[in-house]
Amino acid sequence: MKKKVVSLLTAMALTVVALTGCGSAAADTTDTAAEVAEGTEETADAEAADTETAEAADTEAAEGADMSSVKAGFIFLHDENSTYDLNFLNAAKAACEKLGVECVTKTNIPEGQECYEAACELADAGCNFIFADSFGHEDYIIEAAKEYPDIQFSHATGTKAHTENLSNYHNAFASIYDGRYLAGIAAGMKLNEMIDNGDITADQAKIGYVGAYTYAEVISGYTSFFLGARSVCPTATMEVTFTGSWYDETAEKEGANKLIEDGCVLISQHADSMGAPTACETAGVPDVSYNGSTASACPNTFLVSSRVNWEPYFEYAMTCVANGTAIDTDWCGNLETGSVELSELGSCAAEGTQEAIDAAKADIIAGNLHVFDISTFTVEGKTLDSYEADVDTDADYTPDHEVVVDGYFHESGEGFRSAPYFNVQIDGITLLDTAF
């Protein structure tokens, strides 16, 4: 019933978004915008009610479990200086505090044998739920899971749980591409404002993106962000540069500066330091950050940030451990579970941005909007009618699953593994380097 209600409430909102292309005037939609605001307020109330219901159910499940039997260990690639790891740290502490679970953390654990050793130390210390947060940790967590079959291990962004067939090893992620898409709408609205103000022309609406590696996770992220931007600013293009590291403040700052010098008028990132945001603040270029607001450090240029909220997963998994029930092999949270979130908008966001985001969010939840709708992009000038993705990861990344069904690319959380596997190079995006 909720989906039907949301669909009706957001139909008018999407009309406004469609009419507000690059260079269009906001004044023409004043009356309709008021109606949209009313509708999105009602939608937000409905979504809040659903979230409260879900939280109540989770709380009830947790209250029925003996959470004192759970001791949780967490392995982080970096520490609180990394926006990526800080997001996990905060979620782990909050979930453990809420459930009354003892929490043990290990920070600055490299993607190597040190991860296996850290996992073994946590297991020997009595942890019966152990979680690692970085892609390169996976093989070492699997090794530890085989060594300790009575302990539950989970891994963020991993790809191998469904092929390893270990009852005590699990992958988890969220549909962050939805959040990236919504953040992209904020970027597109800002580009429209810059065009309307005469700061740039429509053909100068070029976005820059600082990525870590040419992994599917990064490709899925920058593509969904671009599609969100182009949904409201159709002349938008994008350039992407890569650093070869998840966290390298110098390289990320240099990457952002390179993009700015090349004419990019707005920057986003999938890398974990403050390098890109600070470069944008210095240059006066609008910035969309990742995994947390940078408004305090970059008050003049921060637009919005998307993130995965890991609290719902930690609460779910630890309650499963307490109850002795199975943890999903591949768990993928979404907007409805509260696992994908956007920060509050920065002060430089364009007028009407929140309304546009709310309308698109409601339509995603209602199932009326799919981020990777094949009618919204082309590949070498052609529609992507069919695509086999590497879902069952192997060393050669062999395609093994048809993922274009019902008019859209079914990304993580759509019946396959939880981690992203979208690795398509679509038109409108230029990669400046592909060495990583």
In three-state form (DSSP H/G/I as H, E/B as E, the rest C), the secondary structure along 219-259 is: HHHHHHHHHHHHHHCCCCEEEEEECCCCCCHHHHHHHHHHH
What pLDDT is recorded for position 168?
Answer: 98
What pLDDT is recorded for position 62?
Answer: 54
Tell me the domain boundaries of the chain.
176-303+343-431
Residues 385, 344: Cα–Cα separation, whole Å: 37
What pLDDT is recorded for position 397?
Answer: 85
Q: What is the pLDDT along the chain (436 residues), one digit of tens a residue?
A: 333 333 333 333 333 333 333 333 333 333 333 333 344 344 344 444 444 544 544 555 556 679 999 999 999 999 999 989 999 999 999 999 999 999 999 999 999 999 999 999 999 999 999 999 999 999 999 999 999 999 999 999 999 999 999 999 999 999 999 999 999 999 999 999 999 999 999 999 999 999 999 999 999 999 999 999 999 999 999 999 999 999 999 999 999 999 999 999 999 999 989 999 999 999 999 999 998 899 999 999 999 999 999 999 999 999 999 999 999 999 999 999 999 999 999 999 999 999 999 999 999 999 999 999 999 999 999 999 999 999 998 888 899 999 999 999 999 988 899 999 999 999 999 999 998 8
What pLDDT is recorded for position 122?
Answer: 98
Residue type, 289: S
What pLDDT is recorded for position 384?
Answer: 98
pTM: 0.84
Domain 176-303+343-431 has CATH 3.40.50.2300: yes
* Three-state DSSP state, 216: helix
What pLDDT is recorded for position 28?
Answer: 35
H-only helix segments in 1-152: 2-19, 30-63, 83-99, 113-124, 138-147
Burial class from Cβ neighbours inside 10 Å (0-12, 13-18, 19+) for residue 113 reads exposed
What pLDDT is recorded for position 8?
Answer: 33
